[in-house]
Amino acid sequence: MSKSNVQHDKDTLRPLESQINMLTSLIDRGKTHHRFPKALESEYRNFVLGQFVAVDLKIISVGLLIFVIFGWADFSFGGDNAVILFTVRCALAATLFACVITIPRTPFLPYSIHALVLGIYICFLCLIWNITMVEGPESYFYHISMVPMQVFALLGLRSSYRAMIVCSLSMLLSYTAFVVWYPMPEVMSSFDELALATAPFYILFWSILIVMASYLSFIIESSTRTDYIKNRLLALEAERLQYLGRRLQQLSTTDSLTGIANRRYVEDQLGDEWLRCTRSGTPLAAVMLDVDYFKKYNDHYGHQQGDVCLKAIAEKMAEYCRRPGDVCARYGGEEFLMLLPETSAKQANDIATGVCTAIAAMKLEHTKSPLGIATVSIGVAAMVPKSGKNYEQLIRQADIALYEAKANGRNQVCLASSSEAP
């Protein structure tokens, strides 16, 4: 394998391995329910936002609809202020619903959770305001409505227990302050006395509800974070396996020295192209190339320099395989093969002549050659495949033409006499 391929593998696999090791470490140490490292936390937040847009906005919309439906209480208990209470309720719901629709399409999407906390708190303040606008025992109905507000806070903020705690405590503390400082009637009815006596228990009940909701929200967020880590780990493992699978396939069909196709691959392609050209009635050409006096080159310059020479020739030859179906392969030792589908004998001969000339023009020093430079001999064969024949006949003709080129003095191209035009 070439150094560039090794480096490419390292550059590709190292980040994957690093992420896999980090995620595995988080799972092993049971840290998936905590905040992740900065980059991973940012990606998780983007994932949560995606879930928020896909699912939570629907829950919020339903919650706002229920908030409006409960407006019947304004007409039942609001008395003279019923229309005002219901109008404010609808205006607030419409405004928040407009935010639900528009925020996902604005740069404020990352702040959706903050906006939801604010929206829930504003709805809570609306209920507090309703209490001040309703006289008599009917106002205590709005005290009871704090429980549905808390339930909605849990549903809307279930995947962020910190936001849920902040929202819930803000409502509880504000409500407690309101109950303490809001003046009671000068003349208290038995209903007012009962409400005042049960207020501490109501606040205690609400506090217990917040504790339970916080624990449930923490479990939900921890589960979401854990599932995210596990799914991401599975995705990275799959990506690594896919890459290794592709590299294994590439290595099994690529010559490790020159980087072009190997004999196994070109023979597979020969079989496929032979069948395809048989069906289409188009010619298939094979160009067999051999480096002249290469044994002497190796003996004189050494095998390492011989490898450099082969790589340079392979790169130059590959430049002439321009079409998707063309294949340039190392066939064995210093022998190469070009497979050219839908190419006539004349076209293949012209390509081979270009390759021969281009390699000689590289002027690779070869003092043991009569020409003083590295050259190649090339045999060309082409035929229109027919049923009952196989590609071995094509390769045999190209090989015979190659030996003719060598016998005629090397550094030249010889076209097989039996090659067929299209």
Distances (CA, A) of 125 to 50, 138, 154, 178, 265: 29, 18, 17, 10, 74
- 327 and 261 in contact (C-beta within 8 Å)? yes
Q: Token pair for residue 411?
A: 């550094």
- 349 and 380 in contact (C-beta within 8 Å)? yes
Q: Exposed, middle or buried: residue 34 (CB in 10 Å: 0-12, 13-18, 19+)?
A: exposed
> Which residues carry out catalysis?
334
The three-point CA angle 313-316-319 to 5° equals 145
Q: Token pair for residue 127?
A: 């209920």
Rounded Cα distance between 145 and 366, Å, is 95
Rounded Cα distance between 10 and 338, Å, is 31
User: Could you tell me how many residues make up the chain?
Assistant: 422
Q: At what angle do helices 3-28 and 190-253 cross, to 10 degrees?
A: 150
Contacts of 327 (CB under 8 A, 6+ apart): 261, 265, 266, 269, 321, 337, 338, 339
